[in-house]
Amino acid sequence: MDSSEEKRTRIPFKERPDWADVKPVPQDDGPCPVVPIAYTEDFSETMDYFRAIYLANERSPRALQLTAEAIQLNPGNYTVWQFRRVVLEALGVDLHEELKFVDRIAGENTKNYQIWHHRRWLAEKLGADAVTNELEFTKKIFSQDAKNYHAWSHRQWVLQALGGWEDELAYCQQLLEDDIYNNSAWNQRYFVVTRSPLLGGLAAMRESEVNYTVQAIRASPENESPWRYLRGLHKNDTQSLVEDSQVASVILDVLTSNNSHVHALSFLLDLLCHGFEPSQELKSAVDVLTPQSCSPDLALTKRVCSILELADPMRVKYWNWRKSTVPVQSATCQNTDRLADLCARMSDL
């Protein structure tokens, strides 16, 4: 039954015989309410009856029906949803039926916190039974809006609480084939790679993931998502990042191309701060990009910042601040110097 049919056939509560014993409770808005809402009559009446049932804490089949009507009039009413959960539990209703109810409401309301929360509550109760349905449901949402935040949170919760990881990496792959710029899909990929019990964890997946990411970067060097993902892959292991030849190679390739250099330079800057020793080729590529105004004696890290100040002018203040906070030498150089210094002092003793 669509909503216009429902409106035509709606019988006011005051005319329903099975509600005759209930005294509706009007909203206590006071004499001069601010931000008053122009409620429809249907809405006012339904909520007056809801208030009566809610205050009486009545957990009956008719209360359940009433919450359904109230929700249809305003799916954002969290008080009604919470009370509905209380009634569902008290009545021991088959929650598979409830899932169908939520599906019907969800159609127009893909960004409603209450509906998603209710779905989560239901899925938790239904357990492993619910996995396929919830994964299918979120997939359907993504076919319309591949970045729906609530849907992604829900999908992640389902995977962690109930399982279903088998096809998730492949699903991320497909979404990224559809739209390589979809940052939600990249985030999900990270989620799968780091948390799936079927994959062995980040360290085990790193090499193949770096491979994949580098390809994505080559295809779209101006795309911020894979660059951040690449950083994320080496999160607690900067040593592996600094030593990864694939990374050095893609940076060199981007810097010697006609594409946007900003992310490559930014990544190079981070690498240098972690002690990366650039090849002669890479240093030459940076030389080519260095503005004439830059002193040739300026340390490499600071030169990269200078290039970025010009290449990414909106963030000039950020690059300027990076320039003032980067180590002048790479960390390994510093350590070598300190060691040499220490040896020299010891030999004096």
Partner 1 sequence: MESRRVTKTLEDQWMVERQVREIYDYFYSIPPNSQSVIRPWLCYWILHSITLLGESVDAGLENDAIDFLTRCQDKNGAYGGGPGQMPHLATTYAAVNSLITLGSPKALSSINREKLHAFLLRMKDPSGGFRMHDGGELDVRACYTAISVASILNIVDDELIHGVGSFILSCQTYEGGIAGEPGAEAHGGYTFCGLAAMILINEVNRLDLPRLIDWVVFRQGVEGGFQGRTNKLVDGCYSFWQGAVAFLIQRLNLVVHEQLGLSNDLGTESDDSSESELSAEEEHLEVTSSHVQEICPPQEGQENASDTTKIADTGYEFINRPIAMQPLYDSMYLQQYVLLCSQVDGGFRDKPGKGRDHYHTCYCLSGLSIAQYSWTDEADSPPLPRDVFGLYSRNLVEQIHPLFNVELDRYYEARKYFSCL
Residues in the chain: 349
Using CB under 8 A, which of 110, 156, 238, 240 touches partner 1? Answer: 156
Using CB under 8 A, which of 184, 290, 306, 330 touches partner 1? Answer: 184
CB nearer to partner 1: give 37 or 203. 37
Is residue 111 part of the annotated active site? The answer reads yes
Q: Does 318 bind partner 1 (CB under 8 A)?
A: yes
3-state secondary structure of 32: coil
Q: Does 160 bind partner 1 (CB under 8 A)?
A: yes
**Largest separation between any pair of C-alpha atoms in the chain:** 104
The interface with partner 1 within residues 238-277 (CB under 8 A) comprises 266
CA–CA dist 160, 156 (Å, integer): 6
Using CB under 8 A, which of 82, 249, 259, 284 touches partner 1? Answer: 82
Per DSSP, 57 falls in state T
Considering the candidates 14, 111, 139, 283, report the single residue annotated as catalytic.
111
CB nearer to partner 1: give 156 or 256. 156
Span from 97-105, 168-176, 319-327, 341-349 in contact with partner 1 (CB under 8 A): 319-327
Q: Does 33 bind partner 1 (CB under 8 A)?
A: yes
With contact defined as beta carbons under 8 Å apart, do 121 and 85 qualify?
Answer: yes
CB nearer to partner 1: give 79 or 133. 79
How far CA 311 is from CA of 85, 223, 260, 284, in Å, comes to: 56, 16, 9, 18
Binding mask 116-135 vs partner 1 (x if CB under 8 A, - otherwise)?
Answer: xx--xx--------------
Which one, of 68, 87, 64, lies nearest residue 77 by Cα?
68
Using CB under 8 A, which of 224, 243, 253, 277 touches partner 1? Answer: 224
Q: Does 321 bind partner 1 (CB under 8 A)?
A: yes
CA–CA dist 277, 273 (Å, integer): 10
CB nearer to partner 1: give 283 or 328. 328
What secondary structure does DSSP assign to 193-261, as a single string? HHH-TTT-HHHHHHHHHHHHHHHHHHH-TT-HHHHHHHHHHTTT-HHHHHH-HHHHHHHHHHHTSSS--
- Contact partners, residue 237, CB within 8 Å, separation at least 6: 203
Q: Does 182 bind partner 1 (CB under 8 A)?
A: yes
Retrieve residue 321's tokens. 């601040």
Task: Give the total of residues touching partner 1 (CB under 8 A).
Answer: 65
CA–CA dist 323, 311 (Å, integer): 15
Which one, of 79, 126, 119, 80, lies nearest residue 102 by Cα?
119
Q: Does 147 bind partner 1 (CB under 8 A)?
A: yes
Least Cβ distance, residue 89 to partner 1 (angstroms): 10
The residues annotated as belonging to the active site are 111
List residues near partner 1 by CB under 8 A. 25, 27-30, 32-35, 37-40, 43, 47, 51, 54, 73-79, 82, 85, 113, 116-117, 120-121, 147, 149, 152-153, 156-157, 160, 181-184, 187, 190-191, 195, 223-225, 228-229, 231-232, 235, 266, 314-318, 321, 325, 327-328, 334
